[in-house]
Chain A
């Protein structure tokens, strides 16, 4: 029975990949319906990453649209060597970061938003029922981006440093800062 279940799971994965490969292949040839199916399949994860990186619903929606528009143009670059979802995730992170640079550049320079608002936030009750996503969105931009990429998406600090155009040490420092702030937000005392 156990063996049968393992075979069924394995078969699902194989058929799932096969149908996704077919969709990718069709979309590469200009089939919009196939591309729509890929969109339906992946929009949840793409939007989640965009939202956690930008911290804003509107910006995350715009960035998600930009990701799929560029994906249509560059789908031919996907060589099938890695999982499509892994490749798409990396594309999403890079496009969103680039999009944020373009959108937020002047606003940040004018109003220096990086540190605004952190201290106004009340600490949560020290409980196990914590909405981590809501707390992550509260983090200042650079700390949030590093935290999302490292802790949630599994990127190495070396990769993050290159993506965000910062030193590896800065990435580690921002991650530490993010953890400290999350600790404050959760109302956890220093041990």
Chain B
């Protein structure tokens, strides 16, 4: 064993096994387990609830497609000076906004698991704005478009996670 290994082993034996988090995590945990208990006690009702949620989601998607189908030509006409690439970004943003609004509406009566999720959502919004600003100069940049798409996906995932977490299996 080298000197360094000896030294490292000493440091490892001196490292603390415990570390306390800076914020109180119990509140979120309590909310999480309460929501699990609620889910368990509503087993019978859950299948119909899930089904109705799925139907709502399908209906919302169909409405969105119809709206985009009719709105897209007007949007393109109104912004003739813009390139086709940026019109696509506008359409993506509009679709995202509608999806976020419909998700938020569907979770209106559900308590969120964390307090700062709106702040996180705002940070993702800011990130999307920065990417969109870059896309104005370079609307066909596929890396930026992908990045914007990922940010939008993160927003949806965040809203779903804090309102209806899907617990992992151990």
Q: How large is the interface on B (under 10, 10 to 19, 20 to 34, 35 or more residues)?
A: 35 or more
Any B CB within 8 A of the CB of A74: yes
Tell me if A44 and B18 are in contact (CB < 8 A).
yes
Tell me if A61 and B11 are in contact (CB < 8 A).
no
Count of chain A to chain B residue pairs whose CB atoms are closer than 8 Å in the complex: 98
- Find B19's partner among A48, A74, A94, A183 (CB 8 Å cutoff): A48
Tell me if A68 and B29 are in contact (CB < 8 A).
yes
Interface residues of A, CB < 8 Å — how many? 43
Given contacts A30-B37, A152-B15, A191-B3, contact A69 B21 (CB under 8 A): no
**Docked pose: A94 CA to B169 CA in angstroms:** 10
Tell me if A47 and B19 are in contact (CB < 8 A).
yes
| Closest-CB distance, A69 to chain B (whole angstroms) | 4
On chain B, the residues within 8 Å of A191 by CB distance are 2-4
| Closest-CB distance, A103 to chain B (whole angstroms) | 9
| Closest-CB distance, B21 to chain A (whole angstroms) | 5
Tell me if B147 and A110 are in contact (CB < 8 A).
yes
Tell me if B12 and A132 are in contact (CB < 8 A).
yes
- Find B36's partner among A69, A77, A151, A179 (CB 8 Å cutoff): A69
**Docked pose: A35 CA to B147 CA in angstroms:** 41
On chain B, the residues within 8 Å of A91 by CB distance are 170
Any B CB within 8 A of the CB of A3: no
Tell me if B170 and A95 are in contact (CB < 8 A).
yes
Chain A proximity mask over B5-33: 1 for CB below 8 Å, otherwise 0: 10110011011111111110110111011
Tell me if A69 and B150 are in contact (CB < 8 A).
no
On chain A, the residues within 8 Å of B168 by CB distance are 66, 70, 95, 98-99
Q: Which residue numbers of A lie inside 8 Å of B, CB to CB?
A: 30, 32, 35-36, 39, 43-45, 47-48, 51, 57, 60-61, 64-66, 68-70, 72-74, 77, 91, 94-95, 98-99, 106, 110, 128, 130, 132-133, 151-152, 179, 182-183, 186, 188, 191
Known interface pairs A61-B22, A68-B32, A98-B168; 18 further A-B residue pairs with C-beta atoms within 8 A, sorted by A's residue number = A39-B26, A43-B20, A43-B25, A48-B17, A48-B18, A51-B19, A61-B21, A68-B29, A69-B36, A70-B167, A72-B29, A72-B33, A73-B167, A95-B168, A99-B168, A132-B14, A132-B15, A133-B15
